[in-house]
Amino acid sequence: MADRILYSFRRCPYAMRARMALVVSKTRCELREVKLSDKPQAMLDVSPKATVPVLMHSDGRFLEESLDIMRWALGHTDPEGWLERDDPELIAENDGPFKHALDHYKYPTRYNDCDPLPHRARGEEFLAKLEARIAGQGQLCGEQRGVTDVAIFPFIRQFANHDRKWFDALDLPHVQKWLAGHLESTLFKTAMQREKPWQEGDAPIAMAI
């Protein structure tokens, strides 16, 4: 078995940010792409929580929260100094109120009598907050990308993609430029490595770094 195994789902924003931290820190691990409708028993045996990402170590230890994976990887190797640009409160706002608005905006049929537009408006309020931050410095915590940017931008990507024409028409030029820059980065393209869903017995696939 590899020293580490990452169970991941390519389009999950939580998995995206974990993968980017692993890539930038050059943390070697086996990548196991998960089909969410048919999760492998090997992952469920490790993490009954049954959500991705899960990083499993060869000694049996595992991490099943994306931020824990990010900070663990960067705590060992942080070549760009991401942890120097960490804003836990802003990340918590993203993961809490903004994620709630995003889910109700994107998946209104999952909720009873849900009008997506008020949730879109609440999401836009968060974007306006990011706009003010980015306008003065280029990234969320300074001139260079850091853990805060990479923790948040996959969720902004998801919000933007739900109605791209509407998003592109917003008066948020700095957020739009910031998002485009992260999407076009070599880091993001490397982390978005495309693999078929893993099955027991498959040959190991190394995550690109």
**Do 61 and 136 belong to one domain?**
no
**Do 174 and 119 belong to one domain?**
yes
pLDDT at 185 over 70: yes
Q: Could you tell me the pTM of the whole model?
A: 0.95
Cα–Cα distance, 125 to 164 (Å, whole number):
17
Local confidence band at 47 (pLDDT 50, 70, 90 cut-offs)? confident
Cα–Cα distance, 82 to 18 (Å, whole number):
13
**Do 107 and 70 belong to one domain?**
no
Does residue 124 fall inside a structural domain? yes
Does residue 165 fall inside a structural domain? yes
Q: Is 51 helix (H, G, I), strand (E, B) or coil?
A: coil
Tokens 């879109």 -> residue? 120
From the list 117, 68, 55, 113, the residue with the least C-alpha distance to 95 is 68
Question: How many domains are contained in the chain?
Answer: 2
Summarize pLDDT for 79-109 with one digit per residue, the tens. Answer: 999 999 999 999 999 999 999 999 999 999 9
Average pLDDT, stretch 171-181? Answer: 98
**Do 151 and 180 belong to one domain?**
yes
Does residue 208 fall inside a structural domain? no
Does residue 201 fall inside a structural domain? no
Res 46: pLDDT: 87
CATH number of domain containing 11: 3.40.30.10
Show the beta-strand stretches assigned E in 51-97: 54-57, 62-63
Last residue of a domain, one of 59, 81, 103: 81
Q: Is 167 helix (H, G, I), strand (E, B) or coil?
A: helix
**Do 59 and 108 belong to one domain?**
no
Does residue 29 fall inside a structural domain? yes
Q: Domain containing 99: what range?
A: 82-185
- Neighbour order of strands in the sheet with 62-63: 30-33, 4-8, 54-57, 62-63
Res 48: pLDDT: 83
CA within 13 Å, CB half, 167: 18
